[in-house]
């Protein structure tokens, strides 16, 4: 059956109307004429699995990655970047119910500071779109940058020389599992983390990556298909560093950091512009990305984070930058008096704010809330609960994830008088 893509859905898939049905087609653009031969039902959505673009839309641009269309990493490389930003602005405005402009990423290739590459019998690369058991073999990743080519070439040399067993994903067998590459985009420092199952790693391994700042070997002792594990040992530096303006952050294999350093600079600047008063609570503080940046600018900062290791890293970062900021372990649902803070920053996971925290905010009524969200649907739900006591003061989107449908949002709420 043939049809024309009318628009992109919120997930970045092209929507084709076939009679009374709507079929959602990956890797297509508005104006594409497509032939759809097969689809499957995903939740309540029909998603094409066998299709062909018959007549390309004039909107299309040439993707930079040779694996685009089969790799599950990027979905929108064929859409001109200005159109991607417009799509994300429209998406946010539609979901949130008010206009939201999106700040483009300063860099749209080579922007990612982390990639997790599976080392499987199917290939060394990323999952093939629509599968968990298959992988696309890659030589490099354009959204990470040139250093990925060097690391993956070294990995293949090691595999060729020592013949370790590779990950058989369906059976959950094999010694080598993932190689995680992280890079300080503003420092040039490079970290390579090999994740394996239990076993012995040849002592020659780190020599294949002698150009890296930090080389780690981590062991996943669980049955889970994850790209992290217990640190077995490391060579070189214990951390790599990243800089956002005048703030330096330490990066460890098991710590989270915003994946687009270039846009993260705009994110911390925007949050700093929105903060009011002197006393700030950085809730879901992670490694102190916002809190330390604010403390460097004279704010009195306390941070609360559920992950003890992240708290340890945040306090290291505070000492490294010579700032007075305190980070402690705590749960969002158990925070105490919020009224003593002038501004509360919240950067929750995709599930949004805990209901108990929302009740606490409505009871304590801090003057200002800066809400950083990676999920506009849960942001909308949380705003609906807070709107009785707070008014919307500012909202902006930031494209942290070029070539994907994802977008970060920053909203400022002020207590109603």
The residues carrying an active-site annotation are: 374, 408
Count the neighbouring beta carbons within 10 Å of the beta carbon of residue 300. Answer: 16
């Amino acid at each position: 059956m043939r049809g024309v893509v009318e628009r992109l859905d919120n997930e970045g898939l092209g929507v084709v109307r076939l009679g009374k049905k709507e079929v959602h087609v990956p890797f297509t653009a508005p104006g594409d004429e497509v032939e759809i031969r097969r689809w499957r039902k995903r939740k309540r959505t029909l998603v094409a699995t066998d299709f062909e673009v018959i007549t390309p839309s004039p909107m299309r641009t040439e993707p930079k990655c040779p694996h685009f269309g089969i790799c599950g990493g990027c979905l929108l490389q064929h859409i001109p970047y200005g159109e991607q930003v417009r799509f994300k602005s429209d998406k946010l405005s539609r979901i949130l119910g008010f206009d939201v402009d999106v700040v483009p990423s300063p860099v749209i290739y080579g922007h990612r500071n982390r990639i997790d590459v599976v080392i499987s019998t199917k290939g060394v690369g990323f999952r093939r779109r629509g599968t968990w058991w298959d992988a696309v073999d890659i030589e490099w990743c354009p959204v990470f940058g040139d250093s990925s080519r060097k690391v993956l070439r070294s990995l293949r040399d090691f595999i060729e020389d020592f013949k370790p067993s590779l990950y058989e994903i369906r059976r959950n067998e094999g010694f080598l599992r993932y190689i995680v590459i992280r890079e300080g985009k503003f420092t040039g420092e490079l970290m390579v983390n090999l994740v394996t199952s239990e076993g012995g790693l040849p002592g020659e391994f780190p020599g294949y990556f002698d150009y890296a700042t930090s080389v780690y070997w981590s062991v996943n002792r669980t049955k889970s298909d994850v790209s992290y594990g217990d640190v077995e040992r490391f060579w070189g530096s214990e951390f790599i560093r990243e800089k956002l303006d005048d703030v330096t952050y330490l990066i460890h294999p098991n710590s989270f950091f915003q994946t687009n350093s270039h846009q993260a600079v705009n994110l911390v600047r925007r949050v700093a512009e929105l903060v009011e008063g002197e006393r700030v609570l950085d809730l879901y503080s992670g490694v102190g990305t916002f809190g330390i940046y604010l403390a460097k600018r004279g704010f009195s900062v306390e941070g609360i984070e559920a992950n003890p290791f992240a708290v340890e890293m945040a306090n290291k970062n505070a000492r490294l930058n010579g700032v007075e900021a305190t980070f402690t372990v705590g749960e969002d649902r158990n925070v105490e008096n919020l009224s003593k803070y002038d501004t509360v920053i919240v950067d929750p996971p995709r599930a949004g704010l805990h209901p108990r925290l929302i009740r606490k905010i409505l009871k304590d009524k801090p003057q200002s809330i800066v809400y950083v969200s990676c999920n506009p649907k849960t942001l909308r739900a949380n705003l609906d609960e807070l709107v009785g006591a707070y008014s919307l003061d500012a909202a902006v989107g930031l494209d942290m994830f070029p070539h994907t449908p994802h977008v970060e949002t920053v909203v400022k709420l002020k207590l109603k008088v």
